[in-house]
Amino acid sequence: MLKNNLFLTPAEADKKAYVKMMEATVDAVVSAMDHSHAYAGMGPYELRDAVHTDELLPEQGCGFDGIMAEIKEKILPNLVRPMSTDYMAHLHGAALLESIAAELILSTFNQSMDSWDQAPVATEIEVEVIRNLCKLYGYDENGDGVFTSGGSQSNLSGLLLARDWFCNSKLNWDVKKFGLPDNFRKFRMYSSEIAHFSMEKSTHLMGMGYEAVVKVPVDDAMRMDCAKLREIIEADVKNGYLPFCVAATIGTTDFGSIDPMDELRKICDEYGMWLHADAAYGSGVVMSEKYAHRVAGLAVCDSITVDFHKMFMLPISCSVSLIKDKANFDALTIHADYLNREEDEEDGYINLVNKSMQTTRRFDALKVWISFRMRGKAGWSELITRCIDNAHYFYTQLKKRDDVEVIVEPEISSVVFRLLPAAGSEEDADTMNKRIRRKLLHHKGVVIGQTVCRGNVCLKFTLLNPLQSPEKLDELLALILSLR
Ligand SMILES: Cc1ncc(COP(=O)(O)O)c(C=O)c1O
């Protein structure tokens, strides 16, 4: 007889153990919610000492009660709390309640999305979710998509399909079979100078190196400058380079700025290029009735990165790579006798591994299914609109002050600004802004972002929490100003 129960099975003893462990976990989590701050404050060395163990695998285990006691003492109090209105550092949101329930279901049954026989209903649900997402972002029935581990993988997937499409359709070269063509060092893709670093990571992973990414300057609104892009492409073509893709950012990491998709579409068509949209951040805007028009251009892009673990507030990981023409997924298809047999597919069994870089993969689509159906359009619109309205409010408050510099008017829900030192202060602005962020993190329970814009250290509010309010933003601003 094994000492501890292993799985949830029909046996009464296993059901009891499951319920007991889940209830104990819920109790521990709920009792850790004893303050509203975003972080308890420990610094890295203190925290490292607190969790240090030479005995990860002791001779005899301490049992579930024993480990829960340790979790309550060491881990739960020190977790950062993205659900707090004191948390606004990154594109990292809280998890909606219903999506935590979804996580319990998907972890309990642990479906794997690679083949139909490992995930029958889960496969059919993912197919349905993807079909509906294609509609939501303006693709017709030729569109398709797949869940991924996050925006970085969705970007890699989009860019890889772009490269293979270019090689197949323009160079008559099959990369899947033969690898990169001899002239691969001439390949160029274009993204704005403030695009996410997953562009370079992707070209590195694709064997083309960082040099393949050309950084295009942004205008005053932090959007890709299309006139400059045109000039750069013209010069590159003259110099024998092979432009294959433009990657627009729909919601830049720091500013939430949106590159002009319709104009980029025209340029891509002129030069025979693929248009990828990194909408890891901005994809959420489509849910707001008031602001959806700002991202309507997504429909003209050949591939779209949609992240559900950012604006959509679903638990990590949850992302989608959408493709306008499903035929391009062929680049990721490879058949194996042990998994995705063609004869099964002829009989209607769908093996989602055919579209994915991953093999084993989570049933993340359940979180979207539950949350979309539960809240509906109206519920979702309210959540996303609030976040964008809050950013607009905070921006207007900052603009009224002459001791704060605001970098750009937000198009989504991020506000980047920098405090200016008081007259006669000996501290320079960069040092002061850095000091204030650290002070907030370790002494005030408030976690905000920090970045550099045009060589200056700036602070950043990334507002992804619909519980945030103008009153609370006023309080936070007063607190920050008091630390100058
Ligand atoms: C614009 C943009 N694209 C892609 C990513 C990468 O997404 P992920 O962290 O889900 O891999 C991020 C992350 O913040 C981002 O801001």
Task: Give the CA count within 13 Å in the CB-facing half-sphere of 367.
Answer: 25
pLDDT in tens, the chain (484 residues): 677 899 999 999 999 999 999 999 999 999 999 999 999 999 999 999 999 999 999 999 999 999 999 999 999 999 999 999 999 999 999 999 999 999 999 999 999 999 999 999 999 999 999 999 999 999 999 999 999 999 999 999 999 999 999 999 999 999 999 999 999 999 999 999 999 999 999 999 999 999 999 999 999 999 999 999 999 999 999 999 999 999 999 999 999 999 999 999 999 999 999 999 999 999 999 999 999 999 999 999 999 999 999 999 999 999 999 999 999 999 999 999 899 898 888 999 999 999 999 999 999 999 999 999 999 999 999 999 999 999 999 999 999 999 999 999 999 999 999 999 998 999 999 999 999 999 999 999 999 999 999 999 999 999 999 999 999 999 999 999 999 9
Burial (CB count <10 Å: 0-12, 13-18, 19+), residue 246: buried
Residue 251 Cα to ligand 1 middle (Å): 10
Task: Phi first, then psi: give them for residue 124, nearest 5 degrees.
Answer: -65, -35
Domains delineated in the chain: 104-372 (3.40.640.10)
Q: Which residues approach ligand 1 with their CB closer than 6 A?
A: 91, 150-152, 155, 196, 198, 249, 253, 278, 280-281, 307, 319
Backbone phi and psi for residue 17, each to the nearest 5 degrees, phi listed first: -65, -40
Report which protein residue has its CA nearest ligand 1's atom 7: 151
Between the CA of 481 and the centroid of ligand 1 the distance, in Å, is: 30
For residue 240, give every residue at least 6 positions away whose Cβ sits within 8 Å of its Cβ, in sequence order, or none.
Answer: 186
Nearest CA to ligand 1 atom 16: 253
Torsion over CA: 393, 397, 399, 403 (sign) = negative
How far apart CA 395 and CA 413 sit, in angstroms, is 10
DSSP strands (E only) in 167-300: 187-192, 213-216, 242-249, 274-279
φ, ψ of residue 177 to 5 degrees: the values are -90, -45
Mutate to test the pocket of ligand 1, among 192, 276, 310 (most ligand atoms within 8 A of CB): 310
The C-alpha torsion from 249 through 251 and 257 to 260, rounded to 10°, is: 40
